[in-house]
Amino acid sequence: MSSEGASGPPALTGNALGALWMLGSAVSFTVMAVLAKWLGQDVSVAALIFWRSLAGVIAALPFLAGSGPSALRLARPGKVAWRALWSTAGFFLAFYALVELPLADNLALSFTRTLFITVLAVFILKEKVAWRRWAAVAVGFAGVLLMTRPGEVPSLGTLAALGAAFCFAVAIVTVKDLTRDHSPVQLVLSVNLVTALAGLPFLIMDPSLPSLPDMALLLAMGFAGVGAQSCYIRALGTGDASLMGLIDYVRLPLSALAGFLVFAEVPDRLAMAGAAIVIASTLYITWREARLGAARPPREPA
């Protein structure tokens, strides 16, 4: 038999493999969001955050063991702590919004993170932004206004979702500087440790333990979140970042579908119109950066 006949199926291209990883991230994120919203009816937000962060610490331990004691030595502990605090604030706000808002609305507002990153990169990283990108940012925030219904007072859940997007944007912009002398394991472990410790006092004040079924769902939620983050980073490391960023938006229809099937949520037309504007503006920013050969906005390491 010739060697040609024994050859297997063609290997997947980097973009095809990256797309599969990104889809895996979207599915894992949706599972985490559904479980968090479901559990949020009986479990405090602090408990949700604690177990999500504890799962992140557990997932990072094998990598920490492989790195040895050097992984615990931080070159700039103050700045690492500063980033961890912003991430922790983002977690608290994001989980509160996740419990309070429909899944699709919450996720659509989370995409404003790209808009905040563009603005913060100018002030923190001293990057130059051309007028076209500023125009895209302005259009994106106009979409946010549409989502929050002009003339109406935004709900606490909406404000929390926007606050979470801002906090995560600050943390992500800070990563660009910290990755010069810190490993991804150090950065991820520090965030999860600080976030878990921040949630611990709230658990002590409310010492009632979740039921065994809720405990199992909490652990599943935590590891689904870790899986979403891991798949996301694998996707970015395998395929073209611009294409992966486009595929990442599949989370929105998945969240809308999950919200409808599990919680009977019907997406608000005005909110979805605003979400379409936000997504279009962030896609333009990404396309413009790729075309000009500019550095892409820093992303969260895993």
Q: How far apart are CA 224 and CA 159, in angstroms?
A: 25
- 54-108, pLDDT tens digit by residue? 887 887 777 777 666 666 777 788 888 888 899 899 989 999 999 999 998 898 8
Least confident of 109-113, 135-139, 183-187: 183-187
Q: How far apart are CA 239 and CA 251, in angstroms?
A: 18
274 has pLDDT over 80:
yes
Query: What mean pLDDT is predicted for residues 132-160?
Result: 83
Q: How many CB atoms lie within 10 A of CB 198?
A: 19
Is residue 27 very low, low, confident or very high in pLDDT (cuts 50, 70, 90)? very high
34 has pLDDT over 60:
yes
Q: Are residues 91 and 195 in contact, defined by beta-carbon separation less than 8 angstroms?
A: yes
Structural domain spans, the chain: 14-292
Query: What per-residue confidence (pLDDT) applies to 157?
Result: 92
Q: Are residues 93 and 164 in contact, defined by beta-carbon separation less than 8 angstroms?
A: yes
H or E stretch at 191: helix 184-205
Is residue 258 very low, low, confident or very high in pLDDT (cuts 50, 70, 90)? very high
Assigned token pair, 158: 């909406």
172 has pLDDT over 90:
no
Identify the top-confidence range among 33-37, 41-45, 272-276: 33-37
Cα-Cα-Cα-Cα dihedral of 225, 229, 235, 240, to 10°?
130
Q: How far apart are CA 111 and CA 104, in angstroms?
A: 11
296 has pLDDT over 60:
no
Query: What per-residue confidence (pLDDT) applies to 143?
Result: 85
Query: What per-residue confidence (pLDDT) applies to 207?
Result: 64
Q: What percent of the chain has pLDDT over 90?
A: 17
40 has pLDDT over 80:
yes
